[in-house]
Chains A and B, each alone.
Chain A
Amino acid sequence: MRNLIKLTTLAAVSALALSAPAFAGKSDNSVVMAYDQAPESVDPFFNNVRIGVIIGQHVWDTLIYRDPITNDYKGQLAKSWKWVDDRTLEVELRQGIKFHNGEEFDADDVVYTLNFVSKPENKVTTQQNVSWIEKAEKLDKYKVRITTKKVFPAAIEYLAGPVVIHPNEYYEKVGPAGQNDKPVGSGPYKVTEYVPGKSIVLETNPDYFADSPKPKPTIGKVEIRFIPDRQTQMAEAISGGVDFIMHVPKDQAEQLEAAPHLQVVSGETMRIVFMQMNSQEGTPAPALKDERVRKAIIHAIDRETMVKEIVGKGSRVINTICFPSQFGCTDHGAPKYPYDPEKAKALLAEAGFPNGLELDIVAYRERNQTEAIIGYLQAVGIKANLRFLQYAAMREQIRGNKAMLTHQTWGSFSVNDVSASTPVYFAMGDDDISRDPEVRDALNKGDNSVDPAVRNASYKEALTRIAEKAYAVPLYSLPVYYVATADLDFRAYPDEMPRFWEMTWKK
């Protein structure tokens, strides 16, 4: 089978690769990337899509930088920082940095940005990223004090991730809408052209400060084109119209490996996949209130085979709802539910559904994986009707208590701490559809303690209870496949962030 694919692929690809026309690439030091979804706004605070994070990290800087390999924190816009007490962080800023429009970077920018985004009325898209901030104050021109609402040790993670710094004078003048029209940041790339829904062009920021932990870019120009159709993206990659695509499904990536002018790089990401089962008060599927039904559902799904056959290299099965490398994430002591369709049927019969039952499942990405899940459920007598929606629409269903099963994924905004994942779905927030106060209390305890031992213990307690009660189906971590022109030297990171600033051309 695999040989055949290789053969046909070789035949198809080698014939065409000979005459690969150079649309872009090494010759003019530019990379064309294609992505399937256009961000609703370029301002990182007003979108929650991966491409928004990618653009954000190229065009803007954060106070702190987390090295993706060692996970060490380094100063980026900050020179140094220290916790004055449990809730107070003092940050000393770097001097002499300029934004793309020439505006000088100083404490005013930090204070303005943090205070602006943390106000709920300014409606930052992902409140999780900013709601921990109580206030920011200017101590002097290059020194600020940040106060958190509660004890919040993960603050550093957020300052090294989604919380970018805007130029205050410009932002005050143009607001989020203007920052979307003509984005101005201080990052290694600046936006030179942006057509909403079509493409965005990034060019090297020549004045980028040398001390930044992000190296000054080699690639001169990065054009990101929004191409919704997966096969159009692939066709572009095969024919040389595009140099870089990501989130390529496993099957397609494996086929493209045969093309001599392309390389396929894959790796695990922090994105976890799981299935929520609505068991809260007023659920449209009362059957899910029965623990046995929930356990039957977990037993029905062959996660090992899914990982091996359709999810792909770098993926692993998870047993608790968090990413293994996150601080506090563990599956020790948590019950595991191996693939066992017979047991699933028995549990269903015991729960009073000997002839199976019918449920809805909402999903928004990796439709083939949802279909496989549906197939497994069908095999034990659960007929699952798919409602495939846009993310926003799916969330609406969940928050409106209209969802039964959900095929969820969560990337934790690359924050390497459980506070960024499990509590989102189990601390009785908007997206929690199991609503167990015990779980919430344990998670809150973990979130709001500075003692690592206490945090670990509390998270473990919460994760174990979630597993024992089978509130959700932990599935697997998602890998990411990149397909790029063979000339490009780059590596894959678990945070799904292609870093164009460190990419180079192969000699």
Chain B
Amino acid sequence: MTSEPLSLPAAAEPTAYSRLMRRVLGQKAFVIGIGIVAAIVLIALLAPVLAPHDPYLQNLSARNVPPFWYAKGSWVHPLGTDQLGRDYLSRVIYGARISLLIGISVVIISGLIGTTLGLAAGYFGGKVDMLVTFLVTTRLSMPVILVALAVVAMIGGSLWIVILVLGFLKWDRFAVVMRSATQQVRSLDYVAAAEAAGASTTRIVLGEVLPNIAPHLIVVATLEAASAILLEAALSFLGLGVQPPLPSWGLMISEAKAYMFFSFWLIAIPGTALALLIFAINLAGDGLRDIIAPEGRS
């Protein structure tokens, strides 16, 4: 479901993979990825300007209009209309906002939790490290989608509930990566020097350790954002995520799936948008990892 399968495997994997990425695609991947992401962000920001119609405005007498490339389509509704006669292009455009909002918000929450835990574990080591490792293992052994589904179903789905639930569930990779990155930084000479000079722990962590591991943080954040967006889409697909009439891409697929046999575009359009965004974020994240992680890191 998520890109989680990639997270745990082996510490050696990211290195091998970044080497591979560099060799195969070089920086091109990153450029393409970040380009697409930037374009989607721009579309989301400019939605009120770009969208030809109000995404919530329904017109029951102009329902299920096909996109322009069909004989019965028209440029009034370039991507047609949905089952309530709402402009599909406008909904897809506004949908970008929902997906990005979810990706960013979830990453902020889970990033704060995971980074704090990872920093603490890596910096202090010993008992703290053991505790954090235990927490991470426990979290990993809980099936995310199942727990998220159950909790959202209980409390009732809404945009913010989904964000909070995912935020509190998806901090594990931040913690894992932060922990090992902090451990490395901690053993560096200048940290030891700062310690010897009597700097406070807070100062060392915030002033020396954090800036050094920030690049890793960004890589994890991008990949986690993609995974959060996919999870929201899956929850909404099952009807237990964001509620209508919000134009979430997952929800749009969910509402259109009964139409797919005869109006395939209704699921193909939001599905493609979703896949494109995930593809671009992953590409950018992989490229970024490639750029910042020098060879030989283990």
- Are A and B close enough to touch in the complex, i.e. CB under 8 Å? yes
Determine the chain B residues whose CB is within 8 A of the CB of A134 once the complex forms. none
Q: Does A281 contact B (CB under 8 A)?
A: no
Q: Select the residue from B66, B158, B255, B259 with max chain A CB neighbours within 10 A.
A: B259
Q: Is the interface of B mostly helix, strand, loop or mixed?
A: loop
Specify which of B58, B71, B239, B258 is in contact with A252 (CB 8 Å cutoff): B258
Q: Does B61 contact A (CB under 8 A)?
A: yes
Specify which of B56, B65, B255, B261 is in contact with A238 (CB 8 Å cutoff): B261
Contact check, A234 vs B63: say whether CB atoms are below 8 A apart: no
State which residues 362-399 of A face B: CB under 8 Å. Answer: 367-368, 370-372, 374-376, 378, 385-389
Q: How large is the interface on A (under 10, 10 to 19, 20 to 34, 35 or more residues)?
A: 35 or more
Given A1-B72, A375-B56, A375-B84; A255-B262 close (CB under 8 Å):
yes
Contact check, B58 vs A235: say whether CB atoms are below 8 A apart: no
State which residues 244-279 of B face A: CB under 8 Å. Answer: 244-245, 255, 257-263
State which residues 123-152 of A face B: CB under 8 Å. Answer: none
Q: Does B64 contact A (CB under 8 A)?
A: yes
Q: Does A20 contact B (CB under 8 A)?
A: no
CA distance A388 to B86 in the complex (A): 20
Determine the chain B residues whose CB is within 8 A of the CB of A1 once the complex forms. 64-65, 72
Specify which of A251, A371, A372, A385 is in contact with B259 (CB 8 Å cutoff): A251
Contact check, B64 vs A374: say whether CB atoms are below 8 A apart: no
**Shortest Cβ gap from B267 to chain A (Å):** 9
Q: Select the residue from B57, B61, B65, B245 with max chain A CB neighbours within 10 A.
A: B245
Determine the chain A residues whose CB is within 8 A of the CB of B257 once the complex forms. 229-231
Contact check, A302 vs B60: say whether CB atoms are below 8 A apart: yes
Q: Does B156 contact A (CB under 8 A)?
A: yes
Q: Does B243 contact A (CB under 8 A)?
A: yes
Contact check, A230 vs B56: say whether CB atoms are below 8 A apart: no
CA distance A230 to B158 in the complex (A): 23
Q: Mark B82-104, 1 if CB is under 8 A from A, else 0.
A: 01101000000000000000000
Determine the chain B residues whose CB is within 8 A of the CB of A3 once the complex forms. 72
Determine the chain B residues whose CB is within 8 A of the CB of A252 once the complex forms. 258-259
Contact check, B72 vs A389: say whether CB atoms are below 8 A apart: no
Determine the chain A residues whose CB is within 8 A of the CB of B157 once the complex forms. 388
Q: Does A122 contact B (CB under 8 A)?
A: no
Q: Does B70 contact A (CB under 8 A)?
A: yes
Given A371-B84, A372-B60; A4-B261 close (CB under 8 Å):
no
| Nearest-neighbor residue (CB-CB) of B262 within chain A | A255
Q: How large is the interface on B (under 10, 10 to 19, 20 to 34, 35 or more residues)?
A: 20 to 34
Determine the chain A residues whose CB is within 8 A of the CB of B255 once the complex forms. 367-368
Contact check, B56 vs A378: say whether CB atoms are below 8 A apart: yes
**Shortest Cβ gap from B296 to chain A (Å):** 50
Specify which of B72, B86, B259 is in contact with A4 (CB 8 Å cutoff): B72
Given A375-B56, A375-B245, A388-B244; A9-B262 close (CB under 8 Å):
yes
Contact check, A231 vs B260: say whether CB atoms are below 8 A apart: yes
Contact check, B258 vs A234: say whether CB atoms are below 8 A apart: yes
Q: Select the residue from B56, B70, B239, B262 with max chain A CB neighbours within 10 A.
A: B262
Contact check, B84 vs A4: say whether CB atoms are below 8 A apart: no
| Nearest-neighbor residue (CB-CB) of A6 within chain B | B262
Determine the chain A residues whose CB is within 8 A of the CB of B239 once the complex forms. 367, 388
State which residues 326-377 of A face B: CB under 8 Å. Answer: 367-368, 370-372, 374-376
Contact check, B244 vs A367: say whether CB atoms are below 8 A apart: yes
Determine the chain B residues whose CB is within 8 A of the CB of A374 once the complex forms. 244-245
Specify which of A4, A378, A387 is in contact with B156 (CB 8 Å cutoff): A387
Contact check, A255 vs B84: say whether CB atoms are below 8 A apart: no
**Shortest Cβ gap from A254 to chain B (Å):** 9
CA distance A101 to B71 in the complex (A): 62
Specify which of B57, B83, B156, B158 is in contact with A310 (CB 8 Å cutoff): B83
Determine the chain A residues whose CB is within 8 A of the CB of B262 once the complex forms. 5, 8-9, 12, 255
Q: Mark A1-40, 1 if CB is under 8 A from B, else 0.
A: 1011100110010000000000000000000000000000
Contact check, B66 vs A4: say whether CB atoms are below 8 A apart: yes
Q: Mark A428-439, 1 if CB is under 8 A from B, else 0.
A: 000000000000
Determine the chain B residues whose CB is within 8 A of the CB of A267 once the complex forms. none
| Nearest-neighbor residue (CB-CB) of B63 within chain A | A309
Nearest 5 A-B pairs (CB), nearest first?
A: A375-B58, A309-B60, A4-B72, A231-B257, A255-B262
Query: Known pairs A252-B259, A374-B244, A374-B245. 7 more at Cβ < 8 A?
Result: A229-B257, A231-B258, A367-B255, A371-B244, A372-B58, A375-B57, A388-B157
Which residues on B are within 8 Å of A, measured CB to CB? 56-58, 60-61, 63-66, 70-72, 83-84, 86, 156-158, 239, 243-245, 255, 257-263
- List 22 contacting pairs A-B, 8 Å CB cutoff, sorted by A: A229-B257, A230-B257, A231-B258, A231-B261, A235-B261, A251-B64, A251-B83, A251-B259, A252-B259, A255-B259, A305-B61, A309-B61, A367-B239, A367-B244, A371-B245, A372-B60, A372-B84, A375-B86, A375-B245, A376-B58, A386-B245, A387-B243
